[in-house]
Amino acid sequence: MTSSLIQMRGVAMRFGGKTVLDGLDWEVRRGQVIGLLGRNGAGKSTLMECMLGLREVDAGAIALFGEPLGALSDANRARIGYVPQKSDLFEWMTPRQMLAYFKALYPRWNDERVATLLTRWGFDVLDLNKPIRRLSGGERQRLSIIRALAHDPALLVLDEPVSALDPAGRRAFLGELIDEVVERGTTIVFSTHILTDLERVALDVAFLKDGKIVLQGPLDDLLEGAHQAQGGVRTDSLSLEQLFLEATQ
Amino acid sequence: MATLPNYLFSITPGSSDPIYRQLVDQVRRLVAAGQLAPGETLPSVRDVAQQLTVNPMTVSKVYGLLEVEGVLVRRRGIGMTVAGQPRDKHDAPERARLLRPILERAAREARELELDADTVVALFTHILKEQS
């Protein structure tokens, strides 16, 4: 129970007459780095939003850090970092103002880390002082990631965090995630369609389909176990892409 | 007993070989070929993870498996080192065995490409000469 950092039981959610989550059960243990996979429209973003209490569910129970979502303490709430797929908030603020605003909300804020990341990811004085709406998609996404990492979260939830980044930007981001894991043992849940990125970082994967988690396990085991199910004729394991296609069929 | 550079390894994500298995195979081959000599220290888990941008747990798993296999030895205060006596350089069948999985894969792809054996062997011979 205590090792379970995210716990979802029978979570149901209908949206515009369509069932998005259908009695979904899911558990993520402390320290897991888990990739959430599913086809477009499978409900990955909705699942993450429900998990964080950003959307009301129609049924089911959700607990984070062992506390029911409805009664989540401020201390635990401040240990969550979230990068939404698309953020249109705070567009009128400059990055400097936005970061100062968030700093005031969190008891813990790693100024040094923020400064390092801003420099490393190419934010100059000019960028820091212009409204966020005038930054490029990639710059906004990087800023959103910096904001999510700034308070050294214990749980990091990332929804397509690199969709606007070029390969160099993605690699730099993955490097930060590796550091997170090495330095802090952060629990990470992230969705992406870039499977090669996922393979580098995620040790576990979960597949969302028809409103449920239909398959979950250690990535290596799933890749290697899949061929045994086929009668052991293959000597190769599956690639993650093949596994994705099979699991989400 | 120099520490080896951490760019020793390389990986190809997206292949049908999981990353950990690619690394296990690489170390085995380097040791079998004598490119990693007994006693040499391997780069730390953290360095390899950061260099390759892979989860450190994956690197730990690789080192752990190779330790169980007896290819590597964990030494206190030093880290992972290459095990044991220098392998007998004449033990060619043993070393050839390590090449088999990768050749099996190549053979399968050759069949998929409908290449005949002579063409493939000629190509492989050519590549061997190129690299030497």
pLDDT number for residue A1: 46
Number of CB pairs, chain A paired with chain B, less than 8 A apart: 68
> Which of A236, A238, A242, A245 to mutate against chain B (most B CBs within 10 Å)?
A236
Indicate the average pLDDT of chain B. 85
CA quadruple B23, B24, B28, B29: dihedral positive or negative? negative
Partner B contacted by A241 (CB < 8 A): yes
Mean pLDDT of the A101-121 span: 94
pLDDT number for residue A17: 87
Q: How many CB atoms lie within 10 A of CB A88?
A: 9
pLDDT number for residue B102: 84
Of the candidates A200, A238, A240, the beta carbon closest to that of B54 is on A200
pLDDT number for residue B7: 65
pLDDT digits 0-9 by tens, A214-249 = 999 999 999 887 555 444 444 567 888 888 998 888
pLDDT number for residue B5: 59
Residues in A 22-81 with any Cβ partner in B closer than 8 A: 33
Residue with tokens 């990768």: B102
Query: Looking at chain A, which residue has its C-alpha nearest residue B17?
Result: A237
pLDDT number for residue B1: 44
B-side interface with A, Cβ within 8 Å? 13-21, 46, 49-50, 52-58, 61, 101, 104-105
Burial A212-234 (b: 16+ CB within 10 A, else e): bbebbebbbebbbebbeeeeeee
Confidence of residue B4 (pLDDT cuts 50, 70, 90): low
Confidence of residue A8 (pLDDT cuts 50, 70, 90): very high
Listed in sequence order, the DSSP H helices in chain A are 44-51, 74-77, 95-105, 111-120, 125-128, 137-149, 167-184, 195-201, 219-228, 240-247
Query: Looking at chain B, which residue has its C-alpha nearest residue A33?
Result: B55
Closest CA to A177 of B57, B13, B61: B57
pLDDT digits 0-9 by tens, A53-97 = 999 999 999 999 999 999 999 999 999 999 998 877 789 999 999
Confidence of residue B131 (pLDDT cuts 50, 70, 90): low
Instruction: Tell me what ipTM this predicted complex has.
Output: 0.84
Mean pLDDT of the A6-23 span: 94
pLDDT digits 0-9 by tens, A205-218 = 999 999 999 999 99
Indicate the average pLDDT of chain A. 90
Task: Calculate what percentage of chain B has a pLDDT beyond 70.
Answer: 88
Residues of chain B contacting residue A197, judged by C-beta atoms under 8 Å apart: 13
Residue A56 φ/ψ region, left for φ over 0, alpha for ψ in the -120 to 50 degree band, beta for the rest: beta
Check if the beta carbon of residue B98 is closer than 8 Å to that of residue B28. Answer: yes
Checking DSSP bridges between strand B72-75 and strand B79-82, what pairing results, if any?
antiparallel
pLDDT number for residue A236: 63
Check if the beta carbon of residue A119 is closer than 8 Å to that of residue A178. Answer: no
Check if the beta carbon of residue A50 is closer than 8 Å to that of residue A13. Answer: yes
Q: How far is B46 from chain A (nearest CA, A)?
A: 7
Q: How far apart are CA B27 and CA B36, in angstroms?
A: 8
Mean pLDDT of the A195-212 span: 94
pLDDT number for residue B15: 85
Check if the beta carbon of residue B19 is closer than 8 Å to that of residue A199. Answer: yes
Residue with tokens 């069949």: B111
- pLDDT: is B108 or A109 the higher one? A109
pTM for this model (two decimals): 0.81
Please indicate whether, in this complex, the C-beta atoms of B55 and A242 are within 8 angstroms of each other.
no
Check if the beta carbon of residue A170 is closer than 8 Å to that of residue A142. Answer: no
pLDDT digits 0-9 by tens, B15-64 = 888 999 999 999 999 998 888 889 999 999 999 999 999 999 999 999 99
Residues of chain A contacting residue B21, judged by C-beta atoms under 8 Å apart: 220, 224, 237
